């Protein structure tokens, strides 16, 4: 399909469904944690998603190589990817989906701060500074809410670490030779390296976080399959399809939807408490994300 200069009905629907799936992802992780140890679950997700993405890349004859100078950066992003999902999956043992949706999707804060120092032309403008202030205020406000909602400080901190790792992956992909790699190769780096770290780590940590299999039921496996195929494989492909056709400046306007959906699903499916603090923090973080990502329109003439 040819590139378009605005988000049409098809693109908007795809972005809406993708944001909905990402918001639902935290619920699925928390549910699967009841059946499988979090680190083991994260490792198995990387293993299976690697197979699916590799099969797709070979079928579509995508360029897959480590000889373009991207190997070191690819390994580093794989390590960050592993740390991101160790932190995220374990966090959902300690805190709620509604809180995770705020802290994990604070990623644009850390991405913007890093880009200010490491990416030419990505300086923090007045608009971005206001967005950062709003989003950071929302994160601090959510941190301050220790009395309601079933969250823990450890879980909140781990979610924030996961968000920082996510931002780090994005920055490395932009400022190193990894930007020479196809999107499929970038994801394969992350999936393969993380699988090599997570799988043995899951068995090594059994004494600290429990056996790799908890109370595994068939419905846990069904949810896990949706997570692997729907979120990691299909979600990835849809995201890069959208990137290839629609302007990124307009896509950014949808960035706030994932945390909103996450809070809604946590309340709707897991009966989690949504306090006034969570609502206020969500509003601030969402408004900040919109301001951070929004591109100023070019002046006519």
Q: End-to-end CA distance of the chain, in Å? A: 29
pLDDT below 70 — which residues of the chain?
1-3, 5, 146-151, 240, 243-244, 247-253, 295-301
Residue 251: what pLDDT? Answer: 61
Residue 300: what pLDDT? Answer: 43
Residue 248: what pLDDT? Answer: 58
> What's the CA gap between 138 and 277, in Å, rounded?
9
Residue 191: what pLDDT? Answer: 94
Residue 150: what pLDDT? Answer: 59
SS3 for 121-142, per residue? Answer: CCCCCHHHHHHHHHHHHHHHHH
Take residue 231 and report the two structure tokens written for it. Answer: 């979120």
The domain spans of the chain are: 9-293
Residue 28: what pLDDT? Answer: 95
Q: What are phi and psi of 36, to 5 degrees?
A: -135, 150
């Amino acid at each position: 399909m040819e590139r378009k200069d605005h988000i049409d009905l098809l693109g908007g629907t795809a972005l809406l469904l993708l944001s909905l799936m990402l918001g639902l992802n935290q619920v699925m992780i928390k549910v699967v944690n009841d059946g499988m140890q979090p680190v083991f679950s994260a490792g198995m997700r990387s293993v299976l998603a690697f197979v699916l993405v590799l099969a797709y890349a070979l079928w579509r004859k995508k360029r897959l190589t480590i000889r373009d100078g991207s190997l070191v950066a690819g390994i580093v992003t794989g390590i960050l990817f592993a740390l991101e999902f160790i932190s995220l999956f374990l966090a959902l043992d300690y805190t709620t989906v509604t809180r995770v949706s705020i802290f994990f999707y604070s990623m644009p804060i850390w991405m913007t701060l890093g880009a200010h120092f490491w990416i030419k032309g990505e300086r923090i403008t007045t608009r971005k500074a206001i967005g950062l202030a709003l989003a950071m205020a929302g994160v601090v406000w959510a941190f301050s809410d220790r009395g309601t909602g079933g969250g823990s400080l450890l879980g909140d901190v781990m979610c924030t670490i996961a968000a920082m790792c996510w931002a780090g992956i994005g920055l490395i992909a932009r400022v190193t030779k990894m930007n020479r790699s196809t999107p499929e190769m970038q994801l394969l780096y992350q999936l393969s390296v993380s699988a090599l770290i997570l799988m043995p780590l899951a068995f090594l940590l059994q004494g600290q976080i429990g056996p790799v299999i908890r109370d595994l039921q068939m419905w846990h496996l069904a949810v896990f399959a949706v997570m692997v195929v729907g979120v990691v494989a299909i979600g990835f492909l849809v995201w890069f399809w959208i990137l290839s056709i629609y302007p990124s400046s307009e896509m950014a306007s949808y960035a706030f939807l994932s945390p909103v959906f996450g809070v809604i699903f946590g309340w709707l499916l897991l009966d989690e408490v949504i306090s006034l603090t969570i609502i206020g923090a969500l509003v601030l973080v969402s408004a900040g994300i919109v301001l951070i990502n929004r591109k100023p329109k070019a002046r006519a003439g």
